[in-house]
Amino acid sequence: MVHGEAWTVKELFVYPNEYIYWTIQIVMYPFMTGLVAGAFVLSSLYHVFGVKQLKEIARFSLVFSFALLPVAMMPLLLHLQFPLRGIEVMLTPHFTSAIAAFGIVFTSYGMIVASELWFVYRRYFVETALDLRKATQRGVTQQARYLLYSLLTLGAWDIGEHALEKDERAVKMLAGLGIPVACFLHGYAGFIFGSVKANALWMTPLMPVIFICSAVVSGIALCIITYIATMELRTLRARKRQQRPESGADTEMQSNEIQVVTMTSRYLLMFLVLAITLELLDLIFRGYTAVKSWDILRSVIYGKDFVNIFVIQYGLGNLLPFILLLLPRLTIRRTVAGTLLVLLGVFMMRWNVVIGGQAFSSSFAGFMHYHLPIWPESLETFKEGLAGALLVAATPFVLFWGLCKILPVFPVDESR
Amino acid sequence: MISRRSFCKKSILILGGIAVPLAALELFDPKKLAADRSGPSTVRWVFLVDTHKCVGCGFCVKACKIENEIPYDANVSRTWVERYVVTRDGKVHIDSPKAARDGFTSTSIDQGALGMLKIENSDIDKAFFVPKLCNQCDNPPCVQVCPVGATYQTSDGVVLVDRSWCIGCGYCVMACPYGVRFFHPVYHAAEKCNFCYHRISKGMKPVCVEACPFGARRIGNIRDPNDPVTRIIMTERVNVLKEEYGTKPQVFYVGLTREVK
Ligand code: SF4
Ligand code: SF4
């Protein structure tokens, strides 16, 4: 079977070689990259702009952003016909191609986040290592931990006041530097689409900007929801440990949590408004100028994809959470619902761009429908179907869990 | 012991060094970027399609599939023939069943998932056939977007794909406004018409040109003023497809009408 035939249904006149070649994995790619960028921007709000209320979630989102990072590349690799040759994009980049820059932008960004993390956690590394060194009898795990943390200090053991101050300055600088790079990382994912002149839906210079805005939205939303989930888990564990319902600890935690969450959702709302405005602007502009391709675009946007775009993306994914989060006396439960819907909205936006962009033939005389492979019958339908997408979606959480073992995201007394 | 300051300095230098892959250092040699076309090539291959002559027999498609080892039953093809039927109500019906490999054997229009459409002869205003193939664009977007340079342009203008280098990202497939690209069902690399480069570089004609019994397809060298194809392109009213994309297509059509997409 020809690549793409398994999930494409053609209608009216479509060129014989046309299939939906960019599938769910290419939807996942900007979605995951967006989460990376968004989580980083959220953490930078505290580090660079000194938004004090976000201190709690800043470190959390920084670590999370690092956990998401490798996953930005995963969908691309899963989508390639020759995944093993993927590295060639780095080795022989062809600089007229937007994808070719990916390796460089991605690596630089990864290094920025890694160095920022190192500066944030340096004191913790040193203190933990020193503590472990003091212990006279170390078990195997303790010995391993000692080695790990000693290694992580990279030989910089000085935690005097002066050195820590310098650390803080470095964090600020890296966070500042990271914002444009994170935006670039994602903006240029938008550029990959926006620059395809053969595709009437993608071809707009607004694409990178639209992508950045919704990236920040999705990143913040995911951080909020993961933050809540982790907090709840901690409360649950604390309660179990104490077995004393009258203990005041978890109510304290609850109120603290809701404060962080409310504050963060304000920022979420702000970016949401920006993202929707840009998207609507793009839509109105297309209808207003109505160039040659508008006929087929209109039939896709207002016809074939109406439910996906207007009901799920704008209605369920934007309008409803907007109301939910805006109404006074925000509760945790409402935030969870709101942020989940926001994530759905951003995912659907990616879907509508990537899949919707391929819903019509370049002949402008036919349509193509994508049927997501649910049950993996072959490697191809596994990679580019539901299973592959779920694999990608689950990976960052596993990584995050692993990272948290080494880098505690919640205030431990000795770390900052 | 290494001081923290010098440590930071050194690690930034090293990390920065790793961030820029070695190959990137060659970035600034523009000649190497676009496949080098500055050579004194006296050949620039062009194609001429005469739609008045095409009868939709599909011999060209069949010959191409066999010559270029595109699995015969696979639903992709390097070249295809489109049928246009314009009815009295002004509607345009187009199809190309199996890329017209077996020619047009039925008068019904293949609408894909919507089934076959029967059109009465009395309803037809006009009907004609248009062969399609890679335009070997002079400004090929497929070459522009390929992240590894697996798609490249030779000095005589033909765009080729290096199967052993393609990573299979599909960017070129997306970038081609003519929809001529696909993934080879056996080799899995990006695939398309290359004017039968293995033949024309040996002085032979592309196999579709040879297979067409009516002379609807011809190949020529636009740099040679005495080439019969060049003379037609220069002196008669010819047209290209989708000029608005700025790809500068090098497949010229005689008798192209506004219905052709
Ligand atoms: S027609 Fe398509 S595949 Fe051929 S050179 Fe032009 S852009 Fe490339
Ligand atoms: S599919 Fe192959 S030839 Fe096409 S852009 Fe990707 S690497 Fe290049």
**B211-244 pLDDT tens trace:** 999 999 999 999 999 999 999 999 999 999 999 9
Per-residue confidence (pLDDT) for residue A245, from 0 to 100: 53
- CB-ligand 1 contact for B132 (6 Å cutoff): no
Per-residue confidence (pLDDT) for residue B37, from 0 to 100: 46
Best mutation target, B119, B167, B259, to test chain A (most A CBs within 10 A): B167
Q: What is the 3-state secondary structure (H, E, C) of chain A?
A: CCCCCCCEEEEECCCCCCCCCCCHHHHHHHHHHHHHHHHHHHHHHHHCCCCHHHHHHHHHHHHHHHHHHHHHHHHHHHHCCCHHHCCHHHHCCCCCCCHHHHHHHHHHHHHHHHHHHHHHHHHHHHHHHHHHHHCCCCCHHHHHHHHHHHHHCCCCCCCCHHHHHHHHHHHHHHHHHHHHHHHHHHHHHHHHHHCCCCCCCCCCCCHHHHHHHHHHHHHHHHHHHHHHHHHHHHHHHHHHHHCCCCCCHHHHHHHHHHHHHHHHHHHHHHHHHHHHHHHHHHHHHHHHHCCCCHHHHHHHHHHHCHHHHHHHHHHHHHHHHHHHHHCCCCCHHHHHHHHHHHHHHHHHHHHHHHCHHHCECCCCCEEEEECCCCCCCCHHHHHCCHHHHHHHHHHHHHHHHHHHHHCCCCCCCCCC
Per-residue confidence (pLDDT) for residue B7, from 0 to 100: 63
Best mutation target, A17, A162, A199, A364, to test chain B (most B CBs within 10 A): A17
Q: CB distance A95–B27 less than 8 Å?
A: yes
pLDDT along chain A (416 residues), means of 10: 92 96 94 90 86 84 91 92 88 84 85 93 92 84 90 88 92 91 86 92 92 92 90 85 60 74 90 93 93 92 94 95 91 93 96 95 94 91 94 94 88 44
Per-residue confidence (pLDDT) for residue A90, from 0 to 100: 82
Q: CB distance B94–A365 less than 8 Å?
A: yes
Which residues have any ligand 2 atom within 6 Å of their CB? B 145-146, 148, 150-151, 161, 166-172, 190
Per-residue confidence (pLDDT) for residue A410, from 0 to 100: 74
**ipTM for the assembly:** 0.88
User: Which atom of ligand 2 is nearest the CA belonging to B162?
Assistant: 3
Per-residue confidence (pLDDT) for residue A99, from 0 to 100: 84
Distance from the CA of B168 to the center of ligand 2, in angstroms? 5
Pocket perturbation via mutation, ligand 2, pick of B152, B160, B166 by most ligand atoms within 8 A of CB: B166
Q: For residue A163, give the nearest of B4, B112, B144 by CB distance.
A: B4
What is the reported pTM? Answer: 0.88
Q: CB distance A80–B74 less than 8 Å?
A: no
Pocket perturbation via mutation, ligand 2, pick of B143, B146, B162 by most ligand atoms within 8 A of CB: B146
Per-residue confidence (pLDDT) for residue B13, from 0 to 100: 66
Tens digit of each residue's pLDDT (9 = 90 or more) over B41-64: 789 999 999 999 999 999 999 999
pLDDT grade for B190, boundaries at 50, 70 and 90: very high
Most confident residue range from A375-379, B15-19, B85-89: B85-89
Q: CB distance B189–A21 less than 8 Å?
A: no
In chain B, whose CA is at the least distance from the CA of A3? B183
The average pLDDT across B172-198 equals 96
The average pLDDT across B178-190 equals 96
Å between B225 CA and nearest CA of chain A: 33
Pocket perturbation via mutation, ligand 1, pick of B247, B251, B252 by most ligand atoms within 8 A of CB: B247
Q: For residue B113, give the nearest of A10, A79, A94 by CB distance.
A: A10
Chain A residues within an 8 Å CB radius of B77:
16-17
